[in-house]
Chains A and B, each alone.
Chain A
Amino acid sequence: MAIFYVLLLFIIIAAIIAVETKNLLSSVICIGAIGFGGSLMFLFLRAPDIAITQVVVEVLGLIILIRATISRDLTFISGDREFFGMVVSVVIILAIFLAGMKVFDTSLPDFGSPIFTKVPEAASQTYIEQGLDKTGAANLVTSVILDYRAYDTLGEAAVLFTSIIGATVILRRKSRKRLEELD
């Protein structure tokens, strides 16, 4: 149990540094720390699939982010919004956070006893009981994403496809033809 708190605190501290540091490159590196901390957290939360995916995605994401920042104008941008605006937004966000704390403490089931054990007709119970028999896959996460909820995965593939097409469209060299070429 303690390990979760340690990791969560590590992630939160890394996030605060990533948000507040002036240097973009260190900020990006802190994002890497959050990602790897998160990946360790996933491992301890018994989600090895997610841990693997998180690590490799983190590597690629960092490369993409560093591509954006390296050898560019890294001079930090002078002070964020004026002081008053910053205080107001911090106060608003703290207020929402305190309201949210109450929500999380009262409504959700305790940490470590998932909801599907309490709801009699939850789908997850069926996945665990019959997943291997019905889909033949020993990895239940795979059986959920590629069989029970394969339609979601089609959507996911489409999202990736969309964003890649979008990125190549945004980064193309010449975007307009001259109007005279039309006729």
Chain B
Amino acid sequence: MPYALCFLLFMIGLYCAIVKKNMVKIVIGIMVMEYAVNLFLIMLGFRMGTSEEPGIAPIIDRSHIIGGATEPIQMTEKFLRTSVDPLPQALVLTAIVISLGSLALMISICIRTYGKYGTFDITRIRRLKG
């Protein structure tokens, strides 16, 4: 069910990006879609665990390891049993950066277009035919 709510968020963003006529609104719709996908990816990697052993972040501290300076390091069973998936988190970190970059570019195109046309309304920004 949380996945479906995430998908609802995605569809709200898609609706906004397709239907709205204000340039900034369109950008906002795209941002909402990006949030939805990021949230979805992180949810995929989440481990609920039990109430005694809830899932933990994939960050190791000294209590999670066996062995040390001389013998090879090993993780404790508990860590292996409860750690959430680090891979989607890495992907989302990359995706957030990408979305920030495209946000900056999109906003600069909006500002420049505003300077040329004096409006954010895409129905009035129509020099190109069809």
Contact = CB atoms under 8 A, between A and B. Distances in A.
Interface of A: 1, 4-5, 8-9, 11-12, 15-16, 18-19, 24, 27-28, 31, 34-35, 38, 41-42, 45-50, 53-54, 57, 60-61, 64-65, 67-69, 72-73, 76-77, 80-81, 85-86, 89-90, 93-94, 96-97, 100-101, 104-105, 108, 111-117, 123-124, 127-129, 131-133, 138-141, 143-145, 149, 152-153, 155-156, 159-160, 162-164, 166-167, 170-171
A149 B74 CA distance: 22
Given A45-B42, A131-B86, A93 B107 contact: no
A153 B46 contact: no
Given A127-B86, A132-B65, A163-B105, A50 B8 contact: no
Nearest to A160: B101
A19 B15 contact: yes
Interface residues of B, number: 83
Give the dominant DSSP class at B's interface.
helix
Interface string B1-41: 11111111101111110111110110111011001001100
